[in-house]
Structure formats: C-alpha cells, structure tokens
Structure 1
Amino acid sequence: MSKIKVDGVEITIFTQNDHDYISLTDMAKSQHENIIITKWLSLKNTIEYLGEWEAMYNPDFNYTDFGTIKNTAGGNNYVLSVKEWIEKTKAIGIRATAGRYGGTYAHKDIAFQFGMWMSPRFQLLLVKEFQRLKEEETKRLNSDWDYKRFLAKANYTIHTDSIKNYVIPKITDEERKKWVYSTEADLLNVALFGFTAAQWKQANPTLAKQNLNVRDLADAHELLVLSNLEGLNAILNQQGIESHNKLDLLRKAASQQLAALRASSYTLEKIQSPFNIEKKKLN
C-alpha cells in the first residue's frame, strides 16, 4: 500500500503483479458525493471503455453479459453497481475490497479515466502525484520511469487493439492494411495538433533528422489529452464511426479538454526542452 495526497484528499494505491490500482473511493471523496462512482460506471461511454480494457487484459472476460449490459446502458434511469459489473462480467480492472483498506479500486488506466470525468484539474493533479510516487520508487529501485513516457503509452495498446479488432477486418486490400495504423495515429495528430506526422517532419527537418516527432515535444497537457483521445477513438472504432465523423468528435474533445487543462490553476512543472519549436497548424 502507498498513499498520495491530491487536492487535500489522501488516496490509497496498491500494487499487485506489477499493476497499480488506485482507490476510486478515495478519489470520490473530493466530490463529497457517495454515489459518484455508480453514476460514472452507469454511463454508456464508461462501460464501452471498460469493455475495451477488459478485452485487452482479461482472458476470462464475460463478453455475453458485457454485451447485455452495454445494450441496456444509456437510459436516464439505468444504474450499474460495481458489484454487479464485477459479478456479471468477471472484470479485473475494477475491484471491491473489504477490511481496513476496503473500497473500490481500479487499475491506473481506468482510475485516470474516472479522474478526467470528475475534473480535468483533478486528473492532472492525480497524474502529478502518481508521477512523484513512481519517481520515489524508481530512485529506490534504480530504474527508469518518467511521466511523459507513461502518458504517451497509457491508452496506446487499447487504441491499437481497437484498430486490429474493428478497423482492419473491414479492409480487404492487403496493401491498405499496412498504413491503417499510421492513418489512425495521424487522425489523433490532426485532432490535437492540427497536422499530420509527415507535415510536422516537413516543417521541422532538423528535428526530424534527430528521430524526433511532435509527440516527443508535446507538453504534459497535450500528452494527457492525447491519452484520452486514444481511449475515445477506441470506442469510436468499436461503434464503426466513419473517419471524417471521428475527426470532428476527436477535435471537439481535444479542444474542450485542452481548454479545461490550460485554464486550470495547477499545472505540471514545465519540462525544460533543448528544442524551441513553434507548434502551429499546417494547411
């Protein structure tokens, strides 16, 4: 067990088999509302995201009951409890424990999603304190961990797996399949930064020769939003949304989330970079 303090609230974290689980019960205390976890869990988008996560990491996931839950969700009166979710789907991403440190815990990927739903500012604080905890741990273990790499990879696997499962099967041309992954990645680049990877390289040849890309030079806010967009795009892929419609939805989400983070009174310490680059949209 470890503890961090976020916005005056003490949050418990436990690690099992190299996976970190964060107390949603503790996080919910910041909202002074007992049923906030149930509200979040009952949302259709939350259920779809959890389904993607479980499909990725849980070989015993009950897809049949998951499908029933997903199809039922969405109504104003729909309510899904943590106990019901775990019992019906055999989920492992969220856990309910009893005893001294009892409560509802979620894998860090899921906990960060919950934090973003509560408040972009709270999620940013949570990531910052989680980073600090990991830095202290790595100093003791003499290993390497940094939050920028963590944010860049947080939902990457969920994103690529959704492409493999929901986009690739629709394509019959073998040559086209080869560039689908890069096209999906560029969809996120355009939504967040306003340009593709190739356009960035063309505008920044010196940095490109150093094997750098726009994501390497993104700030903490941008990487946080990028991670969230990967999770959102995984859901859109599952729903079969066309690329031009996905871009509109992703752009809107990126704009809203960045604005919320930029307006926050709290920011991660600015990372000093040897590069001075002006990020601008390219036509």
Structure 2
Amino acid sequence: MSKKNQSILVQGTPVKIRKVNEHDYICLTDIAKSKNPERPDDLIRNWLRNRNTLELLGIWEQLHNANFNPVEFDGIKKQAGLNSFTLTPKQWCAQTHAIGLESKTGRYGGTYAHTDIAFEFASWVSVEFKLYLIKDFQRLKADENDRLKLTWDLNRTLSKINYRIHTDAIKANLIPPEISSSQASFTYANEADLLNVALFSSTAKEWREANPELKGNIRDHATIEQLLVLANLESLNAEFIHMGLPSSERLIKLNAMAIRQMKSLTASTQTIQQLPHHPSEK
C-alpha cells in the first residue's frame, strides 16, 4: 500500500484513508458499509439531504476553502427538507467548489471526506462506530509519528557520522598544524555554513536571527529529506576538500547536488521551487 492510501479495521469493517493535499480523508463509503453494506451510497445521499448536514458542510467550507461558492450553497440549502430534494457528493462539489468531500473511482474509490466531516458522518451513522473509528485513527497516526521520528533520528545520526568524516577532512586538509583552537573553530564553522548555504540558503547565524523563537539550530528543524541530503553533502564535501577544490567552487557543486537530490526526494513542486540557488547559477 502506498503512503497515500492506508486502511484501518473498525469493528470488523475496513475503512480506507487517503492523503489529499497533505490532509487525511476518510472513506465515507466504507463507514456507510458498516450500517448498509449493500447500498452504502444511499446512506451518504440521505445524509446529504439533511439540512444540519448542509449547514455543517457549508460552515466547514467557509472556514477552509477560499473558492467556496456561497451563492450556490444558499440555493442548495433552501431546497433541503423538500421531498424532491436529492444531492450526491459529486453534485455538491461541482456546484459549490467544495473541497471537504471527494469522490474517487478505481481501487481506492468511493466518497472520501476530511476527518472533521468524516467523524460527523460516522456519528450520524452510529455513535459507537464513531468512537471506535476515532480510536483506531488515532492509533494509526501515533504509529506514523513513531516511524517518522525513528526515520528522523536515523538520518540525524547518519548526518552526525558524516559530519565526523567531514571535520576530519577539514582538519587534514584545511587547518594548518600551527593555528590556534579558536582559528580552527572558525574554519569548522565556515565549512558547516558552506553546507548550510548550499542546502538551506542560510548560514547558522542568519537562521537564528530569522527564527529567534525556535530552539536548537537550523539542522534540528530540518526535514527528513533535508537531513538525508545533508549527510550526502558532507561526504561529497569531504571528497572535494581532499581534491583541493576552493570553497567557492565547492559551494556551487554542493548547491547543484542539493537541488538534484531534493528534486528526487520530494514530489512537491512547491518544495522544489523553494530550494536555494547559488547566485552564479541564475
């Protein structure tokens, strides 16, 4: 199963969960199957006909969706309660530009809803089922957080190991044998900032000045992908130092490598556009 599609078992009913713009959406169709396994879509349509449901959906969209169409929403709400009134999830999304609901086809098909809405639907179907759904969903998120923390710690450790290789190369190639310890520290700091600029487009000092409210340093707040790339950059820089390349040339090469590796590791175009570019590459 891909990271974007997961499933939990709630009182014997498999319930699919998928990522939509980095938010968790729960399958309403699966929730409805716990009550009506033969015709789950009928249960969802009946829920959508309810005036209280429409008010909930409308308020949620107004809070989270700048493109929500309030005029169409008012027209739909006025019809709620009429015997002739029907509404499907696709019609709701198409007419109001709603984002809280989503209909999918294929293997992971069905009607999905943001967790805020899905829990309300589950409560409408069965209060007991909702409580078990929340419990199992929270367990899933706790497991995810534990795995992410483990991966983050692993990459942080890898970064520290490579940093030792990196500093050894600096000591052997850049620091003359007769300099003072303060001069050596200055050299180490410069090399560390060379990597910071290549990857984060900021020195440690610049980051601290821009983020006075955050504890730790720039690397403590790095993403898993950034830490993995940082570990690679430290190894590469160590090799560049052994080759005798000047810092200006190393910075250009490391920055280019950081951009290539981050593009491979991240699927988000926005994240890629935020990666630093060295001025000489413009």
Instruction: From the CA coordinates, give the structure whose radius of gyration is larger.
Output: 2
**TM-score where L is the length of structure 2:** 0.49
Greater share of residues in helix: 2
Question: Looking at both structures, which has the greater relative contact order when contacts are Cα pairs under 8 Å and sequence separation is at least 6?
Answer: 1
